[in-house]
Amino acid sequence: MARPRGTLLTRERIVEVAGALVDAEGLEAVSVRRLATELGVAGPSLYNHFPTKNEILDAVADAVVAQVDVSFFATHEWQDALRLWAYSYRGVLLQHPNMVPLFASGPGRRPAALAMADTVYGGLTRAGWPPARATHIGALMRYLVTGAALGSFALGFDEDPQVYAERYPHLRDAHLLAEHHRSVDEGAFELGLETVISGLEAMKNGVLR
Q: How confident is the model at residue 207 (pLDDT cuts 50, 70, 90)?
A: low
pLDDT of the residue at 2 = 44
Q: What's at 10, amino acid-wise?
A: T
- What does the angle CA 79 – CA 84 – CA 90 come to, to the nearest 5 degrees? 125
Q: What is the C-alpha separation between 208 and 205, in angstroms, rounded?
A: 8
- What does the angle CA 136 – CA 66 – CA 131 come to, to the nearest 5 degrees? 20
pLDDT 10s digits, 45-98: 888 899 999 999 999 999 999 999 999 999 999 999 999 999 999 999 999 999
pLDDT of the residue at 209 = 57
Q: What's at 112, amino acid-wise?
A: A
Q: How confident is the model at residue 1 (pLDDT cuts 50, 70, 90)?
A: very low
pLDDT of the residue at 7 = 58
Number of Cβ atoms within 10 Å of the Cβ of 192 = 15
The predicted model gives 160-180 an average pLDDT of 90
Q: What is the C-alpha separation between 76 and 42, in angstroms, rounded?
A: 49
pTM across the whole model? 0.88
